[in-house]
Structure 1
């Protein structure tokens, strides 16, 4: 098993972005004024999306599906831990000796006290969406023989974010929002995220090319078992200096 120079840093960054998007993002809805379009409202968690999917695409493209799978499981474990600890801390009685607790406790409950439906939807949607994104990107790399990176990043995002949106919003809000509102939000978020992925393609190209040269490797998942339930390292490494 080869050690990589930057893989651990990318995993750490991916986990940090995931935790921020799920712990900070859901607590706020933002509204901005757009020229010609007027007021535009969106969940703050969407701000993390471009960074999160760049991490996922780069990990799969440079290090292969098996290494990306390990990163997804690391993020899944971190998300479960953060969710459990948030619930425990919120339910612990605040000290009556600290006057500011009377203000702090309700604020913490508003920001971090998501309902069980939102928590479950977030965890399941992340797990399914990220694995689909990584799987599609790795398979498309084999089909295209490593060409057309833009096609792989956008195609994998269409599949991964399609699954993510179809899972998250119905689990979290079905029966609370009207069916029309639910469908509109699903479609809007899907279109927005695919559009952002397309716009961010040059950034992904730049990072992928720099990392491949720095690691001197380009991994193809020719011998990889594509089950998500494994932590095995695999993939055929092609050294760039041998090409």
Structure 2
């Protein structure tokens, strides 16, 4: 390990200020909200050889970036700080859902032609909102937990194994929970299409993680050098409801 990087064991270390933690948190929450607003409920497709159409959720093109940032958070700052960011993202999703419900419900000004379009885009049902939040919560915590435990098990070596391995688990849970909870039984979502979308989401998200592994290595390496720290969750409380350490503590 670089002499300029200090190894930090577990949560209960000396107070420390991290320069980039808040910026990474902001990027995570922004991508999370945008991917849920813009792409979550639109199914698209690709045409396979032979003319078969294979369906996938449009949001899959950008949402995995939040998982990559989640990997960076856990790898660089540890599970406890990643837990704090996950709860921040969860709260942001809840507020977004509340704001959308209020704004859509407000009567439009006379002559405004966009109410029906607004309702179609932002008027998600309670099922979609609940499914999105449950899937995000379960997937992100599973992703962070697997990565943190694998980091300790591997002694911090072979970063690619834990970023991809944690994504297989976390994104698998996210896809398996969200689409059936949100769309099963609805018109336009026959079971076979739903099954295709779940598998597509899982496969595409994992592929994105693998493809962007060099970027993950670059970002993780740069942040560790600039923060001067390497966090190992050797004695961390992994409960999602555990007390998250303050952003200025290490």
TM-score normalized with structure 2 length:
0.86
- Count of matched residue positions in the alignment of Structure 1 and Structure 2: 232
CA-based RMSD:
2.2
Match of 2:213 among 193, 198, 201: 201
- Native 8 Å contact 1:27 1:112 kept in 2: no
**Which residue of the partner structure matches residue 61 of structure 2?**
47
Provide, for residues 33-90 of structure 1, a one-character-per-residue CA deviation record: whole Å limited to 9, x for no partner: 7899887654331122232111100000000000000000000000000100110110
TM-score normalized with structure 1 length:
0.88
**Which residue of the partner structure matches residue 58 of structure 1?**
72
Q: Which structure dedicates a bigger proportion of its chain to helix? A: 1
Change (3 A) 1:167 1:31: closer
Q: Distance in 2 between matches of 1:23 and 1:108?
A: 12
**Which residue of the partner structure matches residue 125 of structure 1?**
135
Residue 219 of structure 1: SS of its match in structure 2?
strand
**Which residue of the partner structure matches residue 3 of structure 2?**
none
* Gapped regions of structure 1 (runs ≥ 5): 238-243
Match of 1:148 among 116, 136, 158: 158
Q: Distance in 1 between matches of 2:172 and 2:41?
A: 23
Point out which structure has higher relative CO (alpha carbons under 8 A, 6+ apart): 2
**Which residue of the partner structure matches residue 173 of structure 2?**
163
Structure 1 stretch displaced more, 129-138 or 194-203: 194-203
Residue 231 of structure 2: SS of its match in structure 1?
strand
* Gapped regions of structure 2 (runs ≥ 5): 1-14
- Native 8 Å contact 1:130 1:160 kept in 2: yes
- Native 8 Å contact 2:179 2:194 kept in 1: yes
Alignment of 1:1-243 (within 5 A): 1-26=15-40, 28-30=42-44, 42-96=56-110, 99=111, 101=112, 103-176=113-186, 177-233=189-245
